[in-house]
A and B are shown apart, each in its own frame.
Chain A
């Protein structure tokens, strides 16, 4: 068996040790994204309820945002600007600063499997918040891609005539709603796991607020 890299391998960071774990721009975009994505989800549930894609799946109105369809649409189409522009700033700064590649790569399926087993058996440490383990890397990358899919399928629903290419990419108007819903479900699952992990490692919340 090849020697595996332990989850706590030395940090490959070019930044000085006293630099914040999460730079200021990252914390700001993280929280703006959290606000926008949650508003989109809770208002989206109300919109979904007006004509459920899947018979039998109805979201209890009490946990939705907007009060009625018109209100929910207003929230949804207001928060979309924040989600999209904040997302563009996040991706641009992430790539431009080199953080994107240093934080998320290298990433291999084997590393994900190893860290997942370690995490599930309670052996994965979170001592160094400067470095993401392989499961974290995968989860964060997946949710970034998922948000992009949400925005694109949302655009295909909102402007199915103006964006024919996007509409066909999503398999037509009706199917774009299915894609939008499934991507939402994936995001909701991420939120649940993410918040649970933060509760298990409370220091990570402080880090995302203060930077250290």
Chain B
């Protein structure tokens, strides 16, 4: 190993000399390079405020719109979200909203009317008994929150695609929008609205949907993140004008697909 050490020292010396020679050859170029590095360092330091910059935010929003299109392209209308067994249910299913559990709206079921508007030709006002009489389906699926956590829940209600056809919705329209009793609003793409697992739910775990999970109804989409699933729906509308959404208008991605 001794001989190796010796060799290392020799080569190091040679490289130091080569470096020094190069430096002597082009001092101005070297200096320029160093100054560029310092500029780069300064630019990094200003990184703290980069999020407040308007042009940066414009760019990020534009990319988010691009991601909407990328996700619409990736979305396979026939691909089903995995389903689970009763034993895999998350208990208790977490409450989550943009307000605390004490501020959950109390909707009176007896005078409740669901309004259906926009590009529809059929029945525009629905009572709860009318909705409960629609074909019934159950699903046990995973709710994935934009925050990262997930929970498995059991939902019961009527397939949304069938409901849209029943109200004579123009299913070639781009969007289905929602207005909610808690002032939440949301909108989704038509392919997701027509997905087989998109369910207009009136029940949670075999019981009437409790207020904390969105009484009287929640649109359950296992192909979308939690914030895309509106609760306490009072109006459903079909439109070609982009309606946005409560969180979406603050910067969450609109498609929000899973």
Contacts and interface: CB of A to CB of B under 8 A. Distances in A.
Q: Decide whether A and B assemble into one complex.
A: yes
Interface in B68-117: 71, 74-76, 79-82
Contacts of A67: 51-52
A206 B67 CA distance: 37
Given A6-B7, A77-B63, A127-B15, A160 B144 contact: yes
Q: How many of chain A's residues touch chain B, expressed as a range?
A: 35 or more
A66 B51 contact: yes
Contacts of B50: 65
A139 interface: no
Given A65-B51, A161-B223, A173 B142 contact: yes
Contacts of B252: 70, 73
Interface in B31-45: 33, 37
Interface centre among A48, A50, A53, A74 (most CB of B within 10 A): A74
A75 B60 contact: yes
B8 A125 contact: yes
Interface residues of B, number: 46
Given A66-B51, A77-B253, A127-B15, A162 B75 contact: yes
A162 B74 contact: yes
Given A48-B148, A123-B5, A162 B59 contact: no
B61 interface: yes
Contacts of A51: 145, 147-149
Given A77-B64, A162-B76, A177-B148, A203 B19 contact: yes
Interface string A189-212: 000000000000001011001100
A174 B251 CA distance: 24
A125 B5 CA distance: 9
Contacts of B61: 74
A51 B151 CA distance: 13
Contacts of B177: none
B11 interface: yes
Contact of A69 (B47, B81, B146): B146
B257 A125 contact: no
Contacts of A157: 148
A164 interface: yes
A159 B258 contact: yes
B8 A74 contact: no
Given A53-B148, A67-B51, A127-B11, A159 B60 contact: no
Interface string A38-81: 00000000011011010000000000011111110111011001
A73 B11 contact: no
A78 B67 CA distance: 8
Contacts of A203: 15, 19
A209 B39 CA distance: 14
Contact of A159 (B51, B74, B150): B74
Nearest to A160: B258
A7 B5 CA distance: 11
B43 to A, nearest CB: 11
Nearest to A65: B51
A91 interface: no
B72 to A, nearest CB: 11
B12 interface: yes
A128 interface: yes
Nearest to A77: B67
A193 B194 CA distance: 51
Contacts of B47: 65
Interface of B: 4-5, 7-8, 11-12, 14-15, 19, 33, 37, 47, 50-52, 59-61, 63-64, 67, 71, 74-76, 79-82, 142, 144-150, 222-223, 247, 250-253, 257-258
